[in-house]
Amino acid sequence: MPSPLLVRPSKPDADGRVHAVTPESAGWTYVGFEVYDLAAGQRVARDTGDREACLVVLTGRVAARAAGQDFGTIGGRANVFEGPGWSLYVPARSSWEVVAEGPAEIAVCLAPGTGALPARVIPPAEVGQETRGKGSNTRNVRNILPDASPHAESLLVVEVVTPAGNWSSYPPHKHDRDDLPHESQLEETYYHRLNPPQGYGMQRVYTDDRALDEAVSFADRDVVLVPKGYHPVGAPHGYDLFYLNVMAGPTRIWRFHNDPAHAWMLG
């Protein structure tokens, strides 16, 4: 029986949507996440209501409008492994529209907002890149909306590429307590892509008391929900792993706590 934390893509609806994670469907408060597969010329438009949005162009190009502004064509990646992509921040109490210029895949990251910030494009040149870890714990991070960025009210958005055979979100860490400055409470989604796509990966989500302890085998384009607990990810030999993380909580800051059983390796 599949884990309750595993969300598989559905058949595209009329708008091309294949994922629709809401706070209600996830059983939490803050994070929403959607993915759209768009055919050439296909249009999608949405009002944001009381949610701010970050549209991440995963592949392809789209003509984009948001909050009454025309942002022209954004995007251009052939695949998510080739480098940073283009994103569009859209404030709450506004709207956005994209029209695909050829086949395109976009992710829509959602969290509460007031509409206080302007819409803006986040080009690849503004995506901070860093390499974390060493050896088989090496992974490459692309910070789209990190907590140091002033350009969102709630959203934290990051892409990570983990080479085949490596671990990520490791040593295991968590961020499920509102205990600043030591730890922040953040819900999180992982949208996984694999290269080549017939692969699989492994993610464990567990708490100290093991009241939650799920070992999830995910496939290309699956979403894993992390409502609480530690959440390490493994990429099997032969399959590079990409994931798009969306986080949000009561305070827009990322402070995590390492599992004490495994923190020794950081020394």
pLDDT in tens, 221-258: 999 999 999 999 999 999 999 999 999 999 999 999 99
CA 60, 63, 66: angle at the middle one, nearest 5?
125
Of the options 3.40.250.10, 2.60.120.10, 3.40.50.2000, 3.40.50.1820, the CATH number for the domain spanning 6-266:
2.60.120.10
Q: Cα–Cα distance between 155 and 159 in angstroms, integer? A: 13
Cα diameter, the chain: 53
pLDDT in tens, 113-163: 999 999 999 999 999 999 999 999 999 999 999 999 999 999 999 999 999
Backbone angles phi, psi at 218, to 5 degrees: -110, 155
Main-chain phi, psi angles of 88, to 5 degrees: -135, 120
Q: Residue 2 pLDDT > 90, yes or no?
A: no
Decide: 112 and 154 in contact? Cβ < 8 Å: yes
Percent of the chain with pLDDT strictly greater than 70: 100
What is the predicted pLDDT for the residue at 1? 77
Average pLDDT over residues 74-88: 97
Instruction: Find the angle CA(75)-CA(77)-CA(81) to the nearest 5 degrees.
Output: 135
HSE at residue 216, side-chain half, CA atoms within 13 A, is 28
> How far is residue 14's CA from residue 38's CA, in Å, rounded to a whole number?
10
- Least Cα distance to 28 among 231, 186, 252 occurs for 186
CA angle 182, 186, 188 (to 5 degrees): 135
Percent of the chain with pLDDT over 90: 99
Q: Hey, where are the domains in the chain?
A: 6-266
